[in-house]
Structure 1
Amino acid sequence: MLNYVIISGSGRPQSESARVAEYLRQRLIDLQLSDDNSCSLIDLGTSPLPLWPEHNDALWHDYAARLQAADAVIVISPEWHGMACPALKNFFVLASKTELAHKPGLLVSVSSGVGGAYPISELRSSSFKNNRLCYIPEQLIIRQVNTMLHPGPIVDDNDQRIRSRIDYALGVLGHYATALGAVREAVDMSIPEFTNGM
């Protein structure tokens, strides 16, 4: 069974990002891509990291151990003022190649309106550089998030479409997770001259 870590990047407790994260976690289990023991959630709203360079060694040690064991990660960011949120950017300042190198990542953006594209672009352009996380070509943008992915009957076509897209993207992520395992075994990440990306 593949091991996944889902990162809810919102700095707010009980956020829509965390609700979406729990939905994705349950879908991984329902689709038999993972199970309860192999799929964990990091919620930066309920267990926040202090701003870099200060850090909580015990909390980061727990997060780092889960990330090291992961075969793939899902990164969820709300769109705040057209940007990825600060808690998630801070997370990526702390994360290194030890935790994330050559692991596939699925980017998910949530928006209360019709936006959501800017955090995807921002995270694709910078958040992988030194930690070597490999974002897959698929991405998800959950627009009008307040009305999406709730339990009960699905009455909205947009909700049905995003649910189908989620299942497809999670399946693609699973294939990348399997394929990149061989890459992680083959690449020597200990060469000091190449500690950081260019």
Structure 2
Amino acid sequence: MLNIALVAGSSRRNSQSAKVAGFLRQRLIELGLTSTELSSVLDLGERPLPLWPADDNGPWNEYQQQLQAADAVVIIAPEWNGMAGPAIKNFFLYAGKAELAHKPGLLVGVSSGIGGAYPISELRASGYKNCRLCYLPEHLIVRHVEKVLNGSDVTSDDDQRLRNRIDFALDIFAKYGEALKPVRAAIDIDQPAFATGM
């Protein structure tokens, strides 16, 4: 089984991104890919990180331990005005290679409407550089988020289609999680000449 960290990247309490993170965590457990003990949700709305750099890093030390222990990471990024929200962008100023290098990352865009693709594109462009997180070619976009993934009951064809897509993506995600374990073990990430990405 994999140790999996899910980052709910909204700065709002009780966010839809946190709902999606909880659904994905539960589904990972149901599929036998992780367990309650080996998975955690880092909810940036419930326990926000201060704007980086800060004198007090808030819950970062706890988050850092969870990320370092993780074999794979799910990044849930809400779309706000066509951009990734500030909490998830701030998260990537904290998270570095010690926490995320050469671990698979599944990107999940979240939108209350028909959007959700822009955070995927934005984070693929910049959200990996210094931390070396390996984004999967697959990703998920949860559109009309208020109407889907609300518990175990399927409420529409769109909800069922999304759930099927989630299972497909989580299966691939877990395979990457297992495959990259020996890769990480074989790489020396402490080369001072190459501390940050190009």
Same fold (TM over 0.5): yes
Deviation at 1:57, TM superposition (A): 3.8
Conserved? CA contact 1:49–1:55, under 8 Å: no
Conserved? CA contact 2:48–2:58, under 8 Å: no
Residue identity over aligned pairs, in percent, reads 57
Give the Cα–Cα distance (whole angstroms) in 2 for the partners of residues 55 and 78 of structure 1.
27
Conserved? CA contact 1:139–1:169, under 8 Å: yes
Conserved? CA contact 1:6–1:40, under 8 Å: yes
Residues 25, 93 of structure 1: alpha-carbon distance in 2 compared, 3 angstrom cutoff: same
Give the Cα–Cα distance (whole angstroms) in 2 for the partners of residues 152 and 190 of structure 1.
44
Residue deviations 1:64-107 (CA, integer Å, cap 9, x gap): 00000000000001100000000100000011100000000000
Give the Cα–Cα distance (whole angstroms) in 2 for the partners of residues 55 and 134 of structure 1.
30
Aligned residues: 198
User: For residue 113 of structure 1, what is the aligned residue in structure 2?
Assistant: 113
Cα RMSD of the aligned pairs, angstroms, is 0.9
Deviation at 1:190, TM superposition (A): 1.2
Give the Cα–Cα distance (whole angstroms) in 2 for the partners of residues 17 and 189 of structure 1.
31
Conserved? CA contact 1:3–1:39, under 8 Å: yes
User: For residue 19 of structure 2, what is the aligned residue in structure 1?
Assistant: 19
Conserved? CA contact 1:23–1:149, under 8 Å: yes
2:97 counterpart of 1:97: yes
Deviation at 1:153, TM superposition (A): 3.2
Deviation at 1:154, TM superposition (A): 1.7
Q: What stretches of structure 2 of length at least 5 have no aligned partner?
A: none
State the secondary structure of the residue aligned to 2:160: helix
Deviation at 1:152, TM superposition (A): 4.9
Give the Cα–Cα distance (whole angstroms) in 2 for the partners of residues 97 and 152 of structure 1.
36
Residues 129, 14 of structure 1: alpha-carbon distance in 2 compared, 3 angstrom cutoff: same
Conserved? CA contact 1:124–1:135, under 8 Å: yes
User: For residue 187 of structure 2, what is the aligned residue in structure 1?
Assistant: 187
Within a 5 Å distance, the mapping from 1:67-146 to structure 2 comes to: 67-146=67-146
State the secondary structure of the residue aligned to 1:108: strand
Please give the TM-score of this superposition, normalised by the length of structure 2.
0.98
User: For residue 166 of structure 2, what is the aligned residue in structure 1?
Assistant: 166
Give the Cα–Cα distance (whole angstroms) in 2 for the partners of residues 92 and 47 of structure 1.
16
Deviation at 1:6, TM superposition (A): 0.2
Code of the residue aligned with 1:16 in structure 2: it is Q
User: For residue 66 of structure 1, what is the aligned residue in structure 2?
Assistant: 66
Give the Cα–Cα distance (whole angstroms) in 1 for the partners of residues 141 and 5 of structure 2.
19
State the secondary structure of the residue aligned to 2:138: strand
Give the Cα–Cα distance (whole angstroms) in 2 for the partners of residues 48 and 55 of structure 1.
14
Give the Cα–Cα distance (whole angstroms) in 1 for the partners of residues 58 and 153 of structure 2.
41
State the secondary structure of the residue aligned to 2:32: coil
